[in-house]
Amino acid sequence: MKKGLLLFYFLLAGLASVQACDICGCGAGSSYLGILPDFTTKIIGIRYRYNSVLSHVPPEGVASYLTAKERYYTAELWGGWTFGNKVRVMAAVPLSYNTRKSQEEDDSKTGLGDISIQGLYHLLARKSTLGNSKLLVQDLWIGGGIKLPTGKYEPLDRDESGKSANLFQLGTGSFDFMLTGMYDIRLQDAGLNLSGSYKFNTTNHYDYDYGNKWNGNAQLYYKFRVGKQATVAPNLGMSYERSAEDLNEGYSVFTSGGYALYGTVGAELQYRKIALGGNWQPVLDQHLAGGVVKPLNRMMMHLSLMF
């Protein structure tokens, strides 16, 4: 147990010295997944995410005629394949629909987002029995991956006045690289799931570089057995995300970067080879883009098939 906790601590400590995972719902947006279904060999599924923000928020925090509500709807085909007992490859292909509404204009865009591919190594897999005959299970996965510039980046959609964040995009237009760690510890049916990721963003063809991003999540859960083939696992936790400032032609963009803290409330249902889950994430604290962007509550749902 101590070995697993120490490994995960050192992983997060190394990541925390840099900056954060995707906060909004655009091409540079949130990749929060929640607790993944427990699969051994292969899995494929559909994941739906909804994020929204208020942009062009004045310094006093009161909406003006320029304030816009941006909504990001993402449907994602994702899957994973485990090779042997140690190596797992995962990929996600998102399709996004973004809308932006204000008193001045309505705008929308639809298209393919940025495809991501990750490889993970099962560093720790341990089962032990405590003195009271209760089963203790630990798993630690670490790895990394790449995000491809498959989503369209439109430079004209960036507000050159510098009063709004560059969020209304389908993709970043850049190759970006990820480090990921996931640790799960469970005593009988009660467990704690920890995950962290760090994304290195590179400069796109338009000399715009989204800030590097870090994300950390902690979820408590309990598995209730329903009959012999089904489980229901409600979960409760928190998600913290922090981003460095963007760079435009090498200069810092003050309407970028910052942090957001979310609560998470959700549940996972598994019946035989089918998994269904979701969560709601209320904003607990935030300071984004120099105060001109205000994140709103968000949600995620998925339906997955294991085989």
The domain ranges of the chain are 2-306
How much is the pLDDT for 118? Answer: 95
How much is the pLDDT for 105? Answer: 83
Residue with tokens 């996004």: 96
CATH: 1.10.1760.20, 2.30.30.90, 2.40.128.110, 2.40.128.130. Which one for 2-306?
Answer: 2.40.128.130
Residue of 286, 289, 31 lying closest to 172 (CA atoms): 31
CB 163 within 8 A of CB 194: no
CB 263 within 8 A of CB 235: no
Alpha helices in the chain (DSSP H): 2-16
How much is the pLDDT for 140? Answer: 96
With 0-12 / 13-18 / 19 or more C-beta atoms within 10 angstroms meaning exposed / middle / buried, residue 15 is: buried
Residue with tokens 């341990």: 126
Q: How far apart are CA 62 and CA 67, in angstroms?
A: 9
How much is the pLDDT for 162? Answer: 57
Residue with tokens 């970028």: 256
How much is the pLDDT for 39? Answer: 78
Nearest-5° angle of CA 82, CA 77, CA 193? 55
Q: How far apart are CA 272 and CA 227, in angstroms?
A: 11
How much is the pLDDT for 3? Answer: 43
How much is the pLDDT for 14? Answer: 36
Write the single-letter amino acid at 182.
M
Q: How far apart are CA 193 and CA 220, in angstroms?
A: 6
DSSP annotation of 7 reads H
How much is the pLDDT for 305? Answer: 95
Backbone angles phi and psi of 173, in degrees to 5: 75, 15
How much is the pLDDT for 67? Answer: 85
Structure confidence by residue, pLDDT tens digits, 170-218: 999 999 999 999 999 999 999 999 999 999 999 999 999 999 999 999 9
How much is the pLDDT for 5? Answer: 42
Query: What are the Cα distances from residue 102, in Å, to 99, 108, 117?
Result: 10, 12, 36
Sequential pLDDT tens for the chain (307 residues): 444 444 444 343 333 333 333 545 454 445 555 677 777 889 999 999 999 998 888 776 666 777 889 999 999 999 999 998 899 999 999 999 999 998 878 999 999 999 999 999 999 999 999 888 899 999 999 999 999 999 999 998 887 665 678 888 999 999 999 999 999 999 999 999 999 999 999 999 999 999 999 999 999 999 999 988 999 999 999 999 999 999 999 999 988 999 999 999 999 999 999 999 999 999 999 999 888 889 999 999 999 999 8
Q: Which residues contact 10 (CB under 8 A, 6 or more apart)?
A: none
Predicted structure pTM score: 0.86
How much is the pLDDT for 138? Answer: 96
